[in-house]
Structure 1
Amino acid sequence: MDPIRKTLSPVGTLPFSLMHNLTKGRKEELPDHSHEWCELIYIHSGKGTFFIDQTFIELEKGDLIIIPPNIIHKSILEDRETLTSSALFFSPTMQTLTTDQRMILFQTSVKAKEARIFRHKCTQNEQQFVEGHFNQIDQERTNKCTNWEETVSLQILMLVIQLKRWMEHSVEEQEIIPTNLTWLKASLDYIELNLHEPIRLDNLAKEANISPVYFSKKFKRTIGMTVSDFLFKKKVLKARELLVQTDESIQSIAEQLGYQTMPHFYRLFKKETGITQLPIEKNIHCERRITC
């Protein structure tokens, strides 16, 4: 199975999408995936575990999660667990906003990733604020009254600004790893530290202290991807990050990730992103400006 990369289906001409107040169980949840836009998730009710960028978060009512672009994430639910949530997807490049406003959207997601603060636990009053904005966005999307796209853009901006303020007073949470996922955390940490080296199934199974065959089956059941698909996605996302955030050459980045030949690297990169060298270089400057 190829790694999942979700694509955005805009509403009208506005680059946003909303899944409002939906209940999902284990079978409805996507496997481990990523996407190129920002996401805000609000938990209305239920419990579960959320995996994002090597971090595990125990979800509960009132949690507001921000997911920056190009980060692997997934809800991990037990067979009888359900989560009722709203998920708001948006691109920071919304043309209905000013350049400064678009930078606020972009910089907030960057800050979340750098500080590794992805969750804000809302108080009762804060829950009313967040739910009110999600409801307003849903109503504007449904009714499509005059200037509804501008209104939705401003509602998203207000949500993100408020989250940014909350984050400024937050400290990095101490990660509490569910006891049934400690084996996975050890293996994920090993992958993160050794991404530049060939990673064998035997090594990961050893870190988890279980047999390779059992590890492979358990990894696929928990994450929703095979080990090889997960490693492939991790390397491609790391390559994208280095291309955007550094001035290193494409060849240097490929070598850092353990690719011995450029054709092999290009082939895998194109398979995941659909773009090749020349568009990549244009994308770097485009993403750095944020205003394209």
Structure 2
Amino acid sequence: MDSLLFEKLMEETDEERAILAGDQAINKEIYTNLTSDFVIQSEKFLKDDLIMIRKHPRYIDFPKHSHDYIEMNYVYHGVFQQKIAGEPLTLKKGDILILNQYIEHELTACKKEDIVINFIIHPGFFDYILANLSTGFIQSQMLQFLMNSMFQYSQKGEFLYYPVANSPHIQHLMQQLLNEMMEPTLLSKSKLKFLMGLLIIELMEQQNIQNNSSVHSEHHEFLSKVFEYIEVHYQDANLQTLAAKLHQSDYWVSKQIKAITKQNFKDLVQEKRLLVAKNLLLYTDLSIQAIAEEVGYENISYFYRLFKRKYGDTPKVYKEQLTE
């Protein structure tokens, strides 16, 4: 443990000093503008950012509440006791807890030596991860699958608990995040996003290891084969050939792809073709007609429509903007 960082985190915040001075009720104005349900609002903390880190206030119980963002708790020192959906859970030093927007929890007052760090994360941050930390079709598609399995996009209260005190890599990432929080520089906001992205991926990998013998692992293996086939054969990929390679019926393969990825086989092939087309626009002098044919589209008008739907501009406008 970094002794200097620990000393800084042990210092009382203004909110903690007010509590110690006798203010024994949570000042809800710090957390929400709502007057009915206690829903902590991201606008109170995030402003225009996607992620923000703050120390959890000690010395006071937090009543039952939810958030309009994704919250992550990290126990830097001591313990953290709470009830999640009415069930007690005690986090120990090094543990990580992630809660989605739809679950309620209530928190027992932390003692002086209990240092808990709260990460306030806008749901849009996970789109940022997909856009910036995935390189290539297989990686981006697999990452999308893993994130969907980690954060189910439904209005159901869920949480993820990671007892990762014995993971040196994860603890090192947490140390880096806290250093950026306590000693910010001009580049700290950017560094926080990328460090947090790496942390989320490490936690997804940790979850995948824990589920290694489960259906999740079978899905992972199946999708790997699907994505690898599309990666190589995207120009003329077809479901019948893939099904034959997997020794399954067309219907079964199609149904599995749809159930796991929420996309059709055709959608996945188009995703790969358009990614290649975009890269050819960026890095070659091929004509748009030649690019369309190169990625498997004989109908240039159809290619134009798909490209514009994906990237917001026609291939011609997209390329012109790049060269301005």
Greater Rg over alpha carbons, structure: 2
Q: RCO greater where, 1 or 2, for CA within 8 Å and sep 6 or more? A: 1
TM-score normalised by the chain length of structure 2: 0.44
TM-score normalised by the chain length of structure 1: 0.49
